[in-house]
Amino acid sequence: MRVKIESTGGFAGIEQTVAAYDTDDLPEQEAAKVYDALSAIEAATAQEPGEVGADLMTYRITVGDGLGKVYTVPEDPPPGLAGPLTALLLRQ
């Protein structure tokens, strides 16, 4: 499964890829951590409405080959998203 994390937003609307990898290329234990982090992000984003504003800095997490799921996490995430986001950002 491909995972791509981009930093987006701000007044300039800049998009920058900060992490991209394929879980098929990771050791099984590392891939399991990615799956766990994505599950936690999916659960947390389903419960918490995000802030609205084009100028807010966010992380856009795309799972799959462009047709998969996309999650948006604020740059300063709430406690339920901070740990899973950090886990995904460290898997480069």
Position 90 scores a pLDDT of 82
* Mean pLDDT value of segment 80-87: 90
* pLDDT tens digits, 12-21: 778 899 999 9
Element (H, E) at 29: helix 28-47
pLDDT at 70 over 60: yes
Order of strands across the sheet with 69-74?
16-22, 2-8, 58-63, 69-74
Give the DSSP letter string of 35-91: HHHHHHHHHHHHHSPPP--TTS-EEEEEESSSSSEEEEEESS--HHHHHHHHHHHT-
* pLDDT tens digits, 29-64: 999 999 999 999 998 887 655 555 666 888 999 998
Quote the mean pLDDT of the chain.
85
